[in-house]
Amino acid sequence: MSNSPDTKILGIDLGGTKILTAVANTQGVMLSRDHSITPAKEGQDVVVKSILESVGRALDQAHIAAADLTAIGLGAPGLSNPETGILFTSPNLPGWKDVPLRDIIAKELGKEAFLINDANAAAVGELYFGAGRGARNFIYITVSTGIGGGIIIDGKIYTGPTGTAGELGHMVIDDEGPQCNCGNKGCWETLASGTALSREARHRIKEGAATSILKYAGGNIEKINAEAIHEAAQTGDKLANELIARTAYYLGVGLANLVNIFNPEVIIIGGGLSNIGDMLLKPAFEEAGRRAFRQSYQAVRFARAELGRNSGVLGAAAYALEKMNEGGTK
């Protein structure tokens, strides 16, 4: 990015549970950062009001006004079209349908704004400021509650003709697998996400499996999460290790598909579940190696995401700057 370091862009990372807003410069340095809770259940108008309040705090922290911004980038969960700026639908924002979110924010703040899917934003963040620097073709996946992704081809995010490309978590791995929130069965995220890991643990415990996992969840079966399972696995718990191995297997199957389809230079993995580290990722990469074409697998490098929780907000800002450099909205 050739812009001056004085150029200031606003990034907004809207999630189902959090709103993260930051003013950043072209080097990816955050001049401010505001984190707040998304009042998702209270509807669109209340969420938009919360976004604008978060923006106000981020601008105050950076000691600038909206007029000082070059552009605004907005990452949002669900299906959206970056060309029209419309958020079609989002599983994390109940009741949202065909919302012209880009234009609402642009009008409120008096600055050009750009909308991108949140996982695509994270991919753009890693491209400019993280583990994707120097790579022209890579896949970013985030493995957490679900599985999201972004596809970088020739140094640009690939969004497809309607803007909905990159829904990697919804490739079908097992056509008779668990029901997914999208309505399909056996999607990758129903088998290899944090939610899938926790669901399988609860199921096995209810069947009577002996394990210490419950102890790490405070004795409450409903509070079992990936962290509790990981803690139990580190103490040698047989079930916990078995469950992580199962998740790694399915993660590897999906990774093999990505290697074969895209022949990427790098696959970058982020998201909360990746914090389990080698216990999960090493066997997943090995499974991918058993299944993928040898030439493609030998050419790919697996990397951990570098930007953590800031990938989405920095990626939204970088995307806005990229679009401004291309001449803004058409």
**Predicted local confidence at residue 242, as pLDDT:** 98
Mean pLDDT calculated for residue range 267-283: 96
Mean pLDDT calculated for residue range 61-78: 96
- Chain segment 137-190, per-residue pLDDT in tens: 999 999 998 999 999 999 999 999 998 999 999 999 999 999 998 899 999 999
**Predicted local confidence at residue 182, as pLDDT:** 87
Position 21 pLDDT exceeds 80: yes
Longest CA–CA separation in the chain, Å = 62
β-pair type (266-270, 301-304): parallel
- Chain segment 99-151, per-residue pLDDT in tens: 999 999 999 999 999 999 999 999 999 999 999 999 999 999 999 989 999 99
Q: If pLDDT is split at 50, 70 and 90, which confidence band does 3 have?
A: low
Rounded Cα distance between 13 and 15, Å, is 6
Q: If pLDDT is split at 50, 70 and 90, which confidence band does 92 have?
A: confident
Q: How confident is the prediction for the chain on average, in pLDDT? A: 95
Say which residue, 90 or 269, is predicted with more confidence.
Answer: 269
Evaluate whether 115 touches 143 at the Cβ level (below 8 Å). Answer: no
Position 2 pLDDT exceeds 80: no
Q: Which two tokens stand for residue 224?
A: 């079992």
Mean pLDDT calculated for residue range 274-293: 97
Evaluate whether 180 touches 188 at the Cβ level (below 8 Å). Answer: no
Q: In the CATH scheme, what is the code of domain 131-305?
A: 3.30.420.40
- Chain segment 222-255, per-residue pLDDT in tens: 999 999 999 999 999 999 999 999 999 999 999 9
Can 9-117+311-325 and 131-305 be said to share one CATH topology? yes
The domain limits of the chain are 9-117+311-325, 131-305
**Predicted local confidence at residue 329, as pLDDT:** 63
The CATH H-level superfamily of 9-117+311-325 is ATPase, nucleotide binding domain (3.30.420.40)
